[in-house]
């Protein structure tokens, strides 16, 4: 029997801007993010309204800050949230959305670096979350589910230092769940995932610290 996980894609693809649906296509302005925060979340807001980002733990929601329309911002995280012990969720709230966006509960290891993409309002139900069926034997593994809407295959690499390790390939217009190498999983490891389409530029995530049992999702931008 397979377990069904429903979660929001947390992986932010650097340098990628989605067009805001039901609006004239817009490109996010260039953002210069200085890497001065040890613990932070980088938020890309593809909406035409500001979003407020909260850090939720237990019954407490802590306001991290506001991300303006069509911008990318880095928000500081409190030290207690990145000890590897606290279960935290990130919640995005905007005035013209019927529901808040929320990640699954996760544990962050120091330094806590994570990314979040806030999709445009139109078509939100289909784009914000991803429902994935995992076999019971995969529940304790570290996995990433890739949704590839492109007409070409994409190859996923895990980058650590000067080395690129091939994780797997996802066929055109399909979805696949890949296992992250055990050598890259654990609090002592920092890894960046690289998406390499057969046509087009490479895309890279933020630095990730993945633990056994973590299940990530990544939706490749259509272009």
Q: Tell me how far apart the alpha carbons of residues 35 and 25 are, in angstroms, rounded to a whole number.
A: 29
Nearest C-alpha neighbor of 105 from the set 125, 85, 119: 85
pTM: 0.47
Q: Which residue has the tokens 């890497």?
A: 35
Exposed, middle or buried: residue 129 (CB in 10 Å: 0-12, 13-18, 19+)? middle
For 35-62, the pLDDT digits (tens) are 445 788 888 888 888 999 999 888 788 9
Res. 12: pLDDT tops 50: no
Q: What is the pLDDT of residues 167-218, one digit of tens each?
A: 999 999 998 889 888 888 886 777 888 888 887 777 777 777 788 888 888 8
Handedness of CA 176, 143, 193, 204 (dihedral sign): positive
Q: In total, how many domains does the chain have?
A: 1
Domain of residue 199 covers: 3-219
42's enclosing H/E stretch is: strand 40-45
Nearest to 220 by CA among 148, 143, 138: 148
């Amino acid at each position: 029997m397979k377990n069904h996980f429903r979660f929001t894609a947390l992986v932010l693809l650097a340098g990628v801007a989605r067009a805001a649906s039901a609006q004239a296509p817009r490109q996010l302005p260039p953002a210069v993010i200085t890497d001065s925060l040890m613990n932070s979340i980088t938020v890309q807001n593809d909406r035409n309204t500001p979003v407020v980002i909260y850090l939720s733990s237990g019954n407490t929601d802590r306001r991290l800050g506001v991300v303006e329309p069509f911008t990318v911002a880095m928000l500081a995280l409190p030290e207690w949230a990145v000890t590897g012990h606290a279960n935290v969720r990130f919640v995005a709230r905007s005035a013209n959305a019927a529901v808040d966006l929320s990640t699954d509960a996760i544990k962050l290891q120091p330094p806590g670096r994570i990314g979040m993409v806030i999709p445009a309002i139109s078509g939100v139900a289909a784009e914000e979350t991803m429902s994935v069926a995992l076999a019971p034997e995969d529940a304790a593994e570290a996995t990433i589910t890739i949704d590839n809407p492109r007409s070409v295959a994409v190859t996923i690499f895990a980058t650590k230092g000067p080395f690129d390790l091939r994780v797997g390939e996802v066929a055109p217009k399909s979805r696949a769940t890949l296992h992250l190498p055990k050598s890259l999983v654990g609090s002592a490891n920092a890894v960046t995932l690289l998406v390499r389409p057969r046509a087009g530029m490479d895309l890279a995530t933020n630095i990730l610290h993945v633990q056994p049992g973590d299940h990530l999702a990544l939706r490749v931008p259509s272009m």
